[in-house]
Amino acid sequence: MATQHSDKPTKLPSATGFRFGIVVSDWNETVTHALLAGATETLCVHAGVPPSDVIVKHVPGSFELPLAAQWLAENSFVDAIICLGCVVTGETRHDHYINSAVAQGIMQLNLKLGIPFIFGVLTPQTQQQALDRAGGKHGNKGSEAAETAVRMLVLRKEMST
């Protein structure tokens, strides 16, 4: 996922004509649904994508993101898929295993299917850190994930012409 840099262009390129899938975890929905709101606002308001060109699917948790993203890619015409979730560090090492598996799964989908699958999974140590990245003091990482998807599609289009 992209991070904010001072040297990046200030205007998001138009994504009109592209179709997007968003797969979002319902676990920790206070955070993940805020990420979803940021992603859809970025696509529809700032990149000019009609809401009818954004397909949203919900999964129980972050671990299910790669498989649902694959199903979405195989069963719907989409140009890019944004995967949104949040795994907060807990008392056990579960977060390590989940985050690694999800990141590997999403990367494999990128290479296997040849379309952008964007990793928009927060991996904070605390719930407050998650909230800070889901519309709080650190912005909205869902919005950044959508921006990354748009920029990847524009890059792909530029490289194919």
Give me 17's structure tokens: 């004509």
Long-range pairs for 57-61: beta carbons < 8 A, 24 or more residues apart: 57/21, 57/22, 57/23, 57/24, 58/23, 58/24, 58/25, 58/26, 59/23, 59/24, 59/25, 59/26, 60/25, 60/26, 60/27, 61/25, 61/26, 61/27, 61/85, 61/98
Q: Say if CB 148 and CB 118 are below 8 A apart.
A: yes
Q: Say if CB 130 and CB 87 are below 8 A apart.
A: no
Name the active-site residue from 46, 58, 94, 138: 94
DSSP 24: E
In angstroms and rounded to an integer, the radius of gyration of the C-alpha atoms of the chain is 15
Active site residue 94: yes
Question: Which residues form the catalytic set?
Answer: 94
